Amino acid sequence: MAVASAFIRIRFAAFHQVDVETTYTISSAAGSGKRVGELLISNFPLPG
């Protein structure tokens, strides 16, 4: 689960929010991507 600051979550509380995980692999050796959490914020419903 993404760890967004409370400020961001409160500031954008009127919008749809979804925690997601993704893997960043740019500039890393094959197979050694970094798994990180992100918070998607949208003005329309998001799947998930």
Q: How far apart are CA 23 and CA 16, in angstroms?
A: 22
Contact (CB, 8 A) for 8 and 36: no
pTM: 0.69
**Which single residue is written with the structure tokens 């998001």?**
46
Q: How far apart are CA 34 and CA 22, in angstroms?
A: 8
Residue 42 pLDDT greater than 80, yes or no: yes
Contact (CB, 8 A) for 21 and 38: yes
5-17 pLDDT tens trace: 888 999 999 999 9
